[in-house]
Amino acid sequence: MKQFIEDVRDGSFMEKNYTKLIPLYEMTKIALNAYTFILHREIKDAGKDVVLNAVHPGLISTDLNFHMGTNTINEGARSALKAATLPKGTDVDGKFLWEDGEVRDWIDGDNEYWRLDEFKDKFMELYKQDPKP
């Protein structure tokens, strides 16, 4: 993360191919997920009885992606709602919940929507036309 921040500051991050879609957005999502798991460990080490998970709402149709997302805001809320209503003592703790509410491996798991070349190409075409959605 430190190297990425330095590369953003000096302008070399695009040349280093950190990502093919939205470099800063993707890196902030990675940092947020990592921080969530750090907090989870700290909470558990402190003996707190709190359920804490990272949640992915799916590709939501918003101004940020020129409304090319496949899910509505209400559909995106499903995984957060599931996470918020998990009972104490659940095994789903310190996990990453996908848009369908299922647990996924956020590091080595299937993150197929970022690899959709058709979406990436359409997004970049629109972004070049209007970089400030």
From the list 18, 25, 35, 113, the catalytic residue is 25
d(CA 108, CA 55) in angstroms, rounded, equals: 16
Min mean pLDDT across 106-110, 112-116, 129-133 is at 112-116
- The pLDDT value recorded for residue 31 is 82
Higher pLDDT, 6 or 1: 6
CA distance 124 to 117: 10
Cβ atoms 72, 60 nearer than 8 A: yes
Helix (H), strand (E) at residue 97: strand 96-97
Q: What average pLDDT does the segment 26-35 reach?
A: 80
Instruction: Give the pLDDT of residue 125.
Output: 64
User: The pTM is what?
Assistant: 0.67
Q: Which helix (H) or strand (E) holds 103?
A: strand 103-104
Please indicate whether residue 18 is annotated as part of the active site: no
Find out if CATH 1.20.1290.10 is the number for domain 2-129: no
> What are the residue ranges spanned by the domains of the chain?
2-129
For residue 74, the SS3 value is helix
pLDDT tens digits for range 48-96: 999 999 998 988 999 888 888 889 999 999 999 999 999 988 999 999 8
Give the mean pLDDT of 92-110: 82
| φ and ψ of 32, to 5 deg | -65, -45
> What tokens does 16 get?
């280093």
